[in-house]
Structure 1
Amino acid sequence: MVTISCDFISPKKSTLRTTDLIDTEIDFNDVDVYPLFMDCNNCDSNEKQNLCFEMELIRRLQKLTSKDVLDAGVSLNDTVMVDILVDTQGKISIVEIYKNELVNKEIPELDSLLYKSIASLPAAVQPSLKRGIPVNSMFKLPILITAQDTQ
């Protein structure tokens, strides 16, 4: 008995591996590396890097705004939400500020204080990376507004 085999007759196998298919799918809602202040460069995981960035951002904003005293005519206890953008150059900016009408009426200078504080942040921020390419990233920053009626 003679057995003959020929690769030309067998159906072609795909040279595309499963890992190649996974590499073509991109999740645009997640990044590989979160933006970093240089102080956060030694974190060992993405979650720690993200937490470090957020805490450092809050700490720096608190330091910048702690000197400013805003007067409100009424007692307030509210949260203002701020959409923050870290662009591909590492520049931090405000996209939008969400606040209720009472906060807007009682503290009209809040927006300008927030814009001024964000503009004062150092530009030494590494942007987010997706597959080694700098990408924009957005953060929603809650700011607690507490004011007591001084009358």
Structure 2
Amino acid sequence: MKHYSLFLVFLLFASCQYFEKQVPSEKELLQKELKSINWKEVDEYPSFVDCDKIEDKASRQQCFFEYLTQLIQEKLSTDTLSILYPELDTIEVRVTIFPNSKMQFEPLFPKDSVAYDTVKIDSILHARLVNFPTVHPAIKRGIPVKTQFILPVILKVE
């Protein structure tokens, strides 16, 4: 019996340290976690099926951008943009990929671009840039997220 009482006294003193600790609140933990997240980068970049086989993150990203640029150039190469605007050799396109795998393209023009009919170019791009292969959206912490980037698309290849 004496051993049991000694054991209980030891257990009582050893367990006191658990009562003294302060537990952080949920809000504090949430704020700490939100501050630790880098919101400017994604864990996995968007990808096409052909690029999914690549294991290296940087190589997969490069494959995606090269493949997308090539597809856009192919779709625009059959068009009259180079005939209508021979001085226009490169156009910047803002590409938005939504979490549901939808893609949106928006041409970007310099502020002083009065030499181009931006409405006409925009309508040509929207008519041509359709029927892309399925794209897997970017992933951030296991959740598909919206990504946006600007691609320079070369219209003339000489």
TM bucket (normalised to shorter chain) is 0.7 to 0.9
Per the alignment, residue 6 of structure 1 pairs with 14
Per the alignment, residue 98 of structure 1 pairs with 108
Structure with the higher fraction of residues in helix conformation: 2
Per the alignment, residue 137 of structure 1 pairs with 147
Selected match of 1:82 from 93, 103, 114: 93
Query: How does the TM-score come out when normalised to structure 1?
Result: 0.72
Q: How does 1:1-150 map to 2 (within 5 A)?
A: 5-9=13-17, 11-12=20-21, 24=34, 25-70=36-81, 71-72=83-84, 76=87, 79-94=90-105, 96-100=106-110, 101-105=113-117, 109-122=120-133, 124-145=134-155
Query: How does the TM-score come out when normalised to structure 2?
Result: 0.69
- State how far apart, in whole Å, the 1-side matches of 2:104 and 2:149 are: 10
1:63 and 1:97, CA in 2 relative to 1: closer, same or farther beyond 3 A? closer
In structure 2, runs of 5+ residues without a counterpart are: 1-9, 25-29
Q: Deviations over 1:8-64 (max 9, x none)?
A: 15842769xxxx998553222111111111000111122112111111101111221
Root mean square deviation, CA, Å: 3.2
- State how far apart, in whole Å, the 2-side matches of 1:7 and 1:103 are: 79
- State how far apart, in whole Å, the 1-side matches of 2:119 and 2:31 are: 52
CA contact (8 A) 1:93 1:119 kept: no
CA contact (8 A) 1:77 1:144 kept: no
- State how far apart, in whole Å, the 2-side matches of 1:54 and 1:103 are: 29
Structure with the higher fraction of residues in strand conformation: 1
Whichever of the two has the greater Rg, that structure is 2
CA contact (8 A) 1:76 1:145 kept: no
Q: Secondary structure at the match of 2:54?
A: coil
Aligned residues: 138
In structure 1, runs of 5+ residues without a counterpart are: 147-151
Shift of 1:84: 0.8
